[in-house]
Amino acid sequence: MYIDKKCDRSYDDILDRIKRVHFIGIGGSGMCPLAEILISKGYSVSGSDMNDGDTLQRIIGYGVPVFMGHKAENIEGAELVVYTAAVKQDNPELVAAREKGIPAIERSVMLGILARRFKNAVAVSGTHGKTTTTAMLSQVLIGSKFEPTAVIGGKLPAIGGNSYVGDSEIMVCEACEYVDSFLQITPAVAVILNVDADHLDYFENLDNIKKSFRKFLAQTSDAAVVNGDDKNTLDCVNDSPVPVITFGFGEENDYRAVMTSPETTVYDAFDLYHKSEKLCNIELSVPGKHNVYNALAAAAAAHYLGVKADDIAKNLHEFKGVHRRFEILGKHGGVTIADDFAHHPTEIKAALTAAMNMGFRKVWNVFQPHTFSRTAMLLDDFADALSIVDEAVILEILPVREVNTYNIYNTDLGKKVSGSKCIDTFEEAAKYVCDNAQDGDLILTMGGGNVYMCANLINKMLAEKAGE
């Protein structure tokens, strides 16, 4: 249910009064960077998690005490507890914190507290493209020796993780709109990539989404960098309290792309203009028109912060992508395997359009729908997007935080996608595509859940089939 939320600033000075912080779910991609920032600032950190993984091992590598599983005694000695949105209110560590009178704040509140400690905090928002754009901007700033602190929603190969702790006054972070988490951030620069109908289980309608983005913009102090080609975004910035810098393909934008690669193929090279001045030519190493928009946003924000055009071009060219964003996992027997996080029809359409223009003999899409509400509310849009590819395999809907009160199933989507095949398990789906894909094909797994496990299985099966 949509709630008219506001920024919680009641804990803004808490880091001046404490030294020991405990993270519930410390291995999460959103929690690990915050822990790293505090560690770098000299705080004593501990944490707990239910699952092992790369991010958890990264934290353990700092000498941080990490407990597997959640128990009340894990918070012993903590002066502040930070928890993820996924943590339920009856979590024993959260209950213990309340019983002991230890302040407990949600991850988005901590992100806001940290961001306000940087003079130039850049918050990257939008329905689609946040992780890629945050990663692009971070790589440009790091590669240009601007030494930002970065909080990224996915692993950036250039830094070997999803966070970076620099010594400047610049911080770059993702600002997620779901349940209005981004309203906890009061940035100097707000980037709005696009505004689309999503998370309707919370927002209910597009008007409420726009309302939240307007509130986010109202909390911004210096400038807004926004997609000037997106009508919904422009609707949100009509009465902006800060200067608006636009990017896009249209000539009216402050920063615009003039394509120098064929627009009918991969959209990977363009001239970057600032108003009437050509700044540089940018050759991207990631495909798709959507990535041109992401690169434009990163370039505009970087240029605003003082990065030279040549440095922007160099570092955007060196950007090879983010974990689970059209990530190539392997090639066996002439078949390429890739995985992508796309889980909204707009994202899916962008990624599949790029894939279809890359010259593969045939593109196979193994799609895992993410949440019953999104699938039910955007069913026709999903069908249109999945119809782009040569072969669509539709897995069971991942429930995430929901129960199926919508009475929606993968077969409902399958009926609307001609020639598609509905398969429930990863094992069956992997066997099906491995048995049928041929030399020159691309198999692209897609979804916001754990479909990457299916991708890894496909990669393994094809390697074995090829005798590797």
Instruction: Judge contact between 115 and 108, C-beta under 8 A.
Output: no
DSSP H helices in 164-230: 200-203, 206-218
Residue from 55, 84, 127, 131 carrying the catalytic annotation:
131
Rg of the chain over Cα atoms, rounded to whole angstroms, equals 22
CA–CA distance, 67 with 456 (Å, rounded to integer)? 28
The DSSP element (H or E) to which 293 belongs, if any, is: helix 289-304
The DSSP output letter for 387 is T
Exposure string (b/e) for 78-109, b if CB count within 10 Å is 16 or more? bbbbbbbeebeeebbbbebbeeeebbbbbbbb
SS3 at position 283: strand
Write out the DSSP string of 78-101.
-SEEEE-TTS-TT-HHHHHHHHHT
Q: Which of 130, 155, 289, 349 is catalytic?
A: 130
Q: How many angstroms separate the CA atoms of 161 and 184, rounded?
A: 24
Going 365 to 322 to 331 to 352, the CA torsion angle's sign is: positive
**Active-site annotation holds for 130:** yes
Q: Is 447 left (phi over 0), alpha (psi -120 to 50) or beta?
A: left
- Contact partners, residue 332, CB within 8 Å, separation at least 6: 459, 462, 463, 465, 466, 468
Active-site residue among 36, 133, 134, 174?
174
Give exposure, 8-17, as e/b (b: 16+ Cβ within 10 Å). Answer: eeeeeebbee
The residues carrying an active-site annotation are: 130-131, 174
